[in-house]
Structure 1
Amino acid sequence: MSIFRFPLLVWMGIGTLIISLGIRQSFGIFMMPISNYFDTGREFFSLAIALQNLLFGVFQPFVGMASDRWGAQKVIWAGSVSYGLGLYLTSIAIEPSWLYLSLGALVGLGLSATSYVIVLGAVARVVPAEHTAKAFGLTTAAGSFGMFAMIPGAQLLLSELNWQNTLQIFAMLCCLMLAFSCFIRCNSQTSKDQPEYTAADQTLSDALKEAFSNRSYWLIHMGFFVCGFHVMFIATHLPSYLADKGLPGTTAAMALANVGIFNIFGTYFWGVVGDKFNKRYVMTALYLLRTVVIAAFVIFPVTVETAAFFGSAIGFCWLGTVPLTSGLVRQIFGARYLSTLYGLVFFTHQLGSFLGAWFGGRIYDYYGSYEPIWWTTVVMAFLAALIHLPVDDRPIARHPATA
C-alpha cells in the first residue's frame, strides 16, 4: 500500500501529532521568560514540566481504555480541550503555583489524549495489518517533524511577542486538533491473512487478562522500558556530558538537532522494514545498532565531529521503536484494544524515562563521572536486543464462545 493511499484518518492523525508533540517540545524555551516573569528561579518551572511528563504516562493507560470504549474521536476532542485550556490558563496565571495545574496536569492530560497511543490505536483500525508498521512509522515520523518544526516558530513568536501571547496562539492551534478529530472515525479493516477472530466479542477485562498472562507482552514492556531510559538519559544529560568534555554549548545543540532530523527518516525507515521482515528481529537489529553507536561514542574521543555523528546515528534509531513496538502489540493481540494495551506499554516507557533522567544525575553525583551510566546504557541496549528474540509474535487465535 502506497502512503498516498492511506485513509484520511491517518493524515488527520499526523496533523494532530505535529501540533500536540510540536508544542510539547517547545516548552524548554519558555523556561527563562516564565521564570523571570514570576521571579522564582527555574526550579518551579522544571517541576511543572516534570509533573506534566509523569502525568502524561500515568493518564495514558486510562485514556487508552477510554479510546477503546468510546472511540479515538471523542478522546482526542477532550484532550484538545484540556491541552488548549492548560496553555491558556498558563498564559493568564498570576501565581506560579497555577502552573502545576495548568502546564502540569491539564497539559499532561491533553498530551496523553492527543499523542501516539491514541492516534496509533485509531490508525490500526483502518490500515490492514500487513501495512501497520509502515503506517505507524509514517505517523511517528510526522510527530518527529512537529518536534523539529515547532521550536523555531515558538522562538520567532517569543522574539516578536511576549510568552503569554505565544502560549495563547498555541492554545488556538489546539482548535485545529479539534477539527482534525472530526475526521477520525474508525471503520475496522483486517488482513485476509490475519483475521481478528472474535476480538469484537472480547471484553476489555478479557483483553487485559490475556495480555498480562502472555510472556511476550511482558518482554515487550521490558524492551520499551530500555528505550525510555535511553531517550531521556541522552536528552537530559548529553549537553552536560559534552560540556564536561570542554566542548561549546553549540555542540550539544547541533547534536540534538541531528537527533531530531535523523529521527524523522529513521522512524519511517524502521516502520517500512518492520512490514517487510519479522518485527522482533528488526527490533533486535535496532537495539544492536544502539549498542554499537553508544559504545563507540564512549570509547572514541569526544569531539565536535563525533558528537554530531552520535546525534545523527542515535537519532536514526531514536523512535524507531514506536512503530515496531506498537506494531508487535497490534500483531499479537489485534487492533480492538490496542490503545489500552499499548498505553500500558507506553507507561512502562515513561518509567524508564523517569529513571534514565534521575539515575544519570544520581550516578554522576556519586562517581563524579557519566562513564558508569553510559556503559549501563550499552549493556541495557544489548539486553534489549536479546529480550526480543523469544517474543512469540504470532497472532492469538480466538474462537467463538459456545452458548
Structure 2
Amino acid sequence: MNANPTEVTALGMPADRGRWGLIAIGAVIFFFIGTIYSWSVFRGPIQKIFACSATAAGAPYMLFFAVQAFLMPFIGPYVDKFNPGRVILANGALMSAGLILASYSSNIYEFTAAFSFIFGLGATAVYAAPIALASKWFVDKKGFAIGLTLFGMGLAPLVMAPAAVKMIALYGVLETLRILGAIIFVVILLLFYPIKFPPAGYAPAGWEPPQSAGTVDTAEYPRGLMLRSRSFHGLWFCFMTASACGLMVIGITHQAAVEMYKISEASAAFAISVFAFFNALGRPFWGLVIDRLNPKITACVSFVLMGCASLAMAGGTPENVLVFYAAVPLIWFCYGGWLSIAPSLTANFFGVKNSSRNYGVVFTAFGAGAIIGNLLAGRVKDFYGSYSPAFYIMAACSLAGIVTAALTLTGPRKD
C-alpha cells in the first residue's frame, strides 16, 4: 500500500520540502567521509614518519576503499533493516575511533589496520545510509538527489587539503588525524537524530513511475536475479574502471604536481582544494545527466573525457604545466560522476525496493578499482621512478570502459 504523500513529513515539514533538508544533512556527513580525498596531502608525511615505500604509504588509502567496497554487500541489508540515524551514530563513532587509534600507531602496519579497517568499517555504513535515504525519498529524481548528497564528499578536499597542510605543519600528521577523529564524532552526534526513511511506497504527489524509457527498468530485481544480468556485469566493470582511474589520480595528485610539474607544495595543496570542486560538481551534474540521457551515452562520454585527459597527463613536464591544471580536474570531475551514475543505474535497472542490497554488490567494483588503481600507481612509481607511465594505462582502461558501456548498459529487460 502506497503512503499518502500529503501525510508524510521529513524534518517536521511536508515531505516535498523536508526531504531536501535530509539531502543537506547527508551532504554534511559525506563531507567528513570525504577527508579521504585529501590523502595525497597525508601520504608524504605518513611515508616519512614511518620510513616506508611509496606502495606501503598508499596501502591505507587503497585498503580503506577496498574494505568499504567489500563490506557494502553485508551493510546494505543492515541499513535497510535498522533506523538509518542510529546506523550513522554507531558507525560514526567507529570512524572517530579508527582515526584516533591510527594517530597512536608506531608503524605503518598498525596505522593501516586502524585507518583502513576500523575507520573504513565505520565509513562503510555511514556511506550507505545517506545513499539509501536519497534513493527512497527521491524516487522521482534519484540520480540528481544522490549526486547532491555526494556533493559534500567531493567538496571535502576544497577545505580539508589546505587545512590539513597547515595542521600537519603545526601539529604533525598523527595529531592532525586525532583532531579530525574528534571533530567527526561531534558532527555525527549533532546530525543523526532526525534521519529516517520514508514510509514504504512513498512517492511525491502527482508523480508516476515511467512505464517505459530508454534509461529505466521499473521492475524489482532481487540480488540473485541481478547477478545473472549482463547489465549488472557491464555496470560493475565500468564502475570498477572509472574508480581505478579516478582513485589512482586522486591519490597521487599532490605527488604528480610536485614531481612531474615542479609545482610547490603549497600550490599543489591549493590545486587539490580547487580540483575537489570539480569532483563535487561531477556528482550532481552526472546524476542529472543520467536521469535524462541514455546510460550508454552518459558512460561513453565520461570515459572519452577521462581517456583524453589521461593521455595529456602522460607526457607531463614543467613546461606544459597548464595540462596539469586542465586534465586532472577533468578526471576528478568524471570520476565523481560515477559515484552518482552507479547507484542511480542500480536503482533504475534493478528497482528501488532492493536498491541498498543490490548497490552493495555493485559497490564492490569500487573496491576492486581502489586496489587496482592504487597498486598500479605505487608499482609504477617504485619501478619507473615516475607516475607518468600510469596515465597511458589509464587511457587504455578508459577505452575498455567505452566498449563495455556501449555493449552492455541496456537495462536487464534488453539483455
Q: Which residue of 1 aligns with 2:379?
A: 362
Q: Which residue of 2 aligns with 1:386?
A: 403
Q: Which residue of 2 aligns with 1:62?
A: 74
Q: Which residue of 2 aligns with 1:316?
A: 333
Are residues 1:114 and 2:131 paired? no
Aligned length: 384
Aligned ranges 1:289-328 → 2 under 5 Å: 289-298=305-314, 303-328=320-345
Q: C-alpha distance in 2, partners of 1:100/1:370?
A: 23
1:14 to 27, 38, 52: 27
Q: Which residue of 1 aligns with 2:278?
A: 262
Aligned ranges 1:4-403 → 2 under 5 Å: 6-22=19-35, 24-26=36-38, 29=41, 40-42=50-52, 47-91=59-103, 98-115=110-127, 117-129=128-140, 131-158=141-168, 163-164=174-175, 167-168=178-179, 170-187=181-198, 188=200, 189-190=202-203, 192-194=208-210, 199=220, 207-238=222-253, 245=260, 247-250=262-265, 252-253=268-269, 255-298=271-314, 303-363=320-380, 372-391=389-408, 393-394=410-411
Per the TM alignment, residue 120 of structure 1 is displaced from its structure 2 partner at its CA by: 1.1
- Give yes or no for contact 1:137–1:268 (8 Å, CA) kept in 2: yes
CA 375–167 in structure 1, closer or farther in 2 if over 3 Å, else same: same
CA 197–353 in structure 1, closer or farther in 2 if over 3 Å, else same: closer
| TM-score using structure 1 length | 0.81
CA 293–4 in structure 1, closer or farther in 2 if over 3 Å, else same: farther
Q: C-alpha distance in 2, partners of 1:95/1:288?
A: 41
**RMSD of aligned residue pairs (Cα, Å):** 3.4
| TM-score using structure 2 length | 0.79
Letter of the 1:381 counterpart: S
Q: Determine what percentage of the aligned residue pairs are the same residue.
A: 19
Q: C-alpha distance in 2, partners of 1:111/1:14?
A: 14
Q: C-alpha distance in 1, partners of 2:44/2:256?
A: 22
Per the TM alignment, residue 121 of structure 1 is displaced from its structure 2 partner at its CA by: 1.6
- Give yes or no for contact 1:230–1:356 (8 Å, CA) kept in 2: yes
Per the TM alignment, residue 247 of structure 1 is displaced from its structure 2 partner at its CA by: 2.8
CA 305–16 in structure 1, closer or farther in 2 if over 3 Å, else same: same
Q: Which residue of 2 aligns with 1:400?
A: none
CA 99–375 in structure 1, closer or farther in 2 if over 3 Å, else same: closer
CA 339–361 in structure 1, closer or farther in 2 if over 3 Å, else same: same
Per the TM alignment, residue 85 of structure 1 is displaced from its structure 2 partner at its CA by: 1.8
CA 364–152 in structure 1, closer or farther in 2 if over 3 Å, else same: closer
Letter of the 2:287 counterpart: G
